[in-house]
A and B are shown apart, each in its own frame.
Chain A
Amino acid sequence: MENSRRRFLKTAGVSILGVGAGSMLIGLAPGSTKAAGPGTKAGPSYTHGPEAMKGGRWGMVIDTRKLKDSTCRKMEKACHSIHNVPDHIGKFDKKNHEIKWIWATEFKHAFPGQEVEFLSEKLEHAPVPVLCNHCDNPPCVRACPTKATFKRESDGIVLMDFHRCIGCRFCMAACPYGARSFNFRDPRPAIENENPDFPTRMKGVVEKCNFCAERLAVGKMPACVEVSGGALIFGDLNDPESDVRKLLADEYAIRRKPNLGTFPSVFYIV
């Protein structure tokens, strides 16, 4: 079907020439949310529960040297099952409808324009996990016409309000990392085991990695970090004493497309 349409497009193109005329502010999980009571002047406000992790700017360091294919698959699986990410490929074999928050690719795809020549076969195909970079200067937030995607001031996480998103997909065009996915159809039939603690989405809205804001709020590390066997390190980039900052001080780490001025909060040691 797709092939015949492609052929049709092609022939039609040729014949033209021939003829000439031719607020899911997930950050706050139910348990840790305390909406301000009536009478508050400044409108509703939230306070973190005592167990919540606090950071000025959450960041991640990915030590690709420690990563194996199996670890990456574990990370993908943990993230996608916790966040009710549908599997349209497995369920309906529809690649076009694919949704992913974190996935493994190769260095040349994670870092196009920074390809390394003469690399050994092994390193060339070594897995590099990619996800939303939670940029300090996010182009997606700039592009969104409804503030449905926004950078949370308290900790720098770029979040989505699935109830406000109009599905214009401007953020997807704006993201230079291809980190965002769109619900081209109802995701629910393609969710194997629904996690009742995290909302499912509806068709017509954009979604992406949320740095496990809902887990941070109850004092847990992001799911991918937890299963990474120490390859992923998570912490506060504003705190010089944090694990991530200590690691960044000692190791030379790179970021994806630094020339675009987005200031990603995800670093890679390669």
Chain B
Amino acid sequence: MLEKALKGSKTYWIWLLALAVVIAIGFLFYLRQLDFGLGITGMSRDVSWGFYIAQFTFLVGVAASAVMLVLPYYLHDYKTFGKITVIGEFLAVSSVLMCMLFIIVDLGQPMRLLNVIFYPTPNSMLFWDMIVLNGYLFLNIVIGWNVLDAERNGTAPEKWIKPLIYLSIPWAVSIHTVTAFLYCGLPGRGFWLTAVLAPRFLASAFAAGPAFLILLTFIIRKFTKFDAGKQAVQTLAKIVCYAVIANLFFFLCEVFVAIYSQIPEHMAHLQYLFFGMHGHDALVPWMWSSMALMVVAVILLIIPSARRNETTLIFACIFVFIGTWIDKGLGMISGGFVPNPLHEVNEYIPSIQEIIITLGVYATGLLVLTILYKVVTGIKEELAG
């Protein structure tokens, strides 16, 4: 099937080339980081996780969102999604791949990565994260590839695929739950120390992922003959709508607990993120933008006429994606580190090099996604033609 990715228009090849250039530049900067150390980033002993881990957290959510297509189709026989489950699964593949790359670029000693396997430590949440992420990658490659192959041959998928599909549903929930457990089980970090973190992660995941999927279906329709169909997109839009609402709701629950209880350790981080602290306020405009974007998106998605209008829907999806990205990819991680355990404020600003390496990882994910989608659309076009 991979041969489908070898034939494409000029635009396709230019796009791949552009991605390759970004990857190459990112890689060069990564070599610099390998040589010098993580000191080229903006991280410090106070904010010891930064942009990389934040992107990892955000993308775990995008990966988990594939379940929003798989579950309705396989458990509720919602046929409209039948055409596009593989689109979701391949988005999961490329997202998990990016997650892993972000973990690797964040390691101080990446060549020792296998120590996690040589000295397995079940009491560490990172150990479990490794297992669930690898498992999820494996599940989605195997399922997506086999189902697509069967579709091409006009046969039913192999029998042994079914149990894997059912397994992939709770597995999707597990990847984001374990990722939340990385943070919410740490005793000294008031911002993360909340049972609602995993549910909130899932809610924002099921908003960001499907919103991105909607945008992807529009892009695919523009460049290929494959159309996901109006109804599939509309159902996804409703999923996005309620997931954003759930995300905002969970967030407000947290705000209430922190502010009403007036416990400084819990309040301080929100205060830093939304109002700034001791003159440090780099994230303030971002956080308010994030909230505004999500609220506007909810309004656009909840009004039926706005949701059905493709232009407003595209805007709503972009708002959701950017809003949840700021929330998780910018505020969530560094917000938990400021103020530090000694209640000192040392702010984190990502360095240029760090951002370039990040873009390199994103380009790698997009490259894989493009190739996988090229295969999918090639086969769909072949079947239609």
Which B residue sits closest to A2, measured CB to CB? B349
Residues of B within 8 Å of A143, CB to CB, are 124-126, 186
Which residue of the partner chain A has the closest CB to B44?
A96
Q: Identify the interface centre among A17, A113, A145: most chain B CB within 10 Å of its CB.
A: A145
Chain A, residue nearest B192 (CB): A173
Q: Which of A148-192 contact B (CB under 8 A)?
A: 148, 164-170, 172-178, 180-186
B106 at interface by CB-CB < 8 Å: yes
Complex contacts, A177 vs chain B, CB 8 Å = 188, 341-342
Question: A169 near B289 (CB under 8 angstroms)?
Answer: no
Residues of A within 8 A of B344 (CB): 109
Given A97-B39, A109-B342, A17 and B288 contact (CB-CB distance below 8 Å): yes
The residue on A at minimum CB distance from B114 is A166
**By the criterion CB–CB under 8 Å, are B285 and A166 in contact?**
no
A9-B349, A95-B44, A174-B186 known; A145 vs B315 contact (CB < 8 Å): no
Contacts of A21 in B (CB 8 A): 315, 318-319, 322
Query: Does A142 touch B at the CB level, under 8 Å?
Result: yes
Q: C-beta contact mask, B311-334 vs A, less than 8 Å → 1, else 0?
A: 000010011001000100000000
Whether, in the assembled complex, B292 has its beta carbon less than 8 Å from a beta carbon of chain A, the answer is yes
A123: Cβ under 8 A from any B Cβ:
no
Q: Are B39 and A96 in contact (CB under 8 A)?
A: yes
Q: Which residues of A contact B127 (CB under 8 A)?
A: 145
Chain B residues closer than 8 Å to A257, beta-carbon distance: 188
A-B contacts counted at CB < 8 A amount to 198
Q: Kindly list chain A residues whose C-beta atoms are within 8 Å of the C-beta of B336.
A: 173
Would A167 and B341 be within 8 Å (CB), given that A143-B124, A146-B115, A184-B43 are in contact?
Answer: no
Contact among A16, A145, A183, A203 with B126 in the assembled complex (CB-CB below 8 Å): A145
Shortest CB-to-CB span from B291 to chain A, Å, is 10
CB–CB A167/B45 < 8 A: no
A164 to chain B, nearest CB (A): 6
With A172-B48, A173-B48 given, is the CB distance from A113 to B264 under 8 Å?
A: yes
Determine which of A112, A174, A178 lies in contact with B265 in the assembled complex, contact meaning CB atoms within 8 Å.
A112
Chain A residues engaging chain B, CB cutoff 8 angstroms: 2, 5-6, 9-10, 13-14, 16-17, 20-22, 94-100, 105, 108-110, 112-113, 130, 139, 142-148, 164-170, 172-178, 180-186, 202-206, 257, 260-262
B interface residues (Cβ-Cβ under 8 A, vs A): 36-39, 41-46, 48-49, 103, 106-110, 112-113, 115-116, 118-119, 121, 123-127, 130, 182-183, 186-189, 264-265, 281-286, 288-289, 292-293, 296, 315, 318-319, 322, 326, 336-337, 340-344, 346-347, 349, 351-352
Q: Can you report 9 residue pairs joining A to B where beta carbons are below 8 Å apart?
A: A22-B322, A95-B44, A112-B264, A113-B264, A130-B342, A165-B112, A166-B113, A178-B342, A203-B38
Which 6 residue pairs spanning A and B have beta carbons closest together?
Answer: A167-B108, A176-B188, A204-B108, A13-B285, A184-B39, A203-B37
- In the complex, besides A166-B112, A181-B45, A261-B187, 8 extra interface pairs with C-beta distance below 8 angstroms are A14-B285, A17-B293, A21-B322, A95-B44, A184-B38, A184-B43, A205-B109, A206-B108
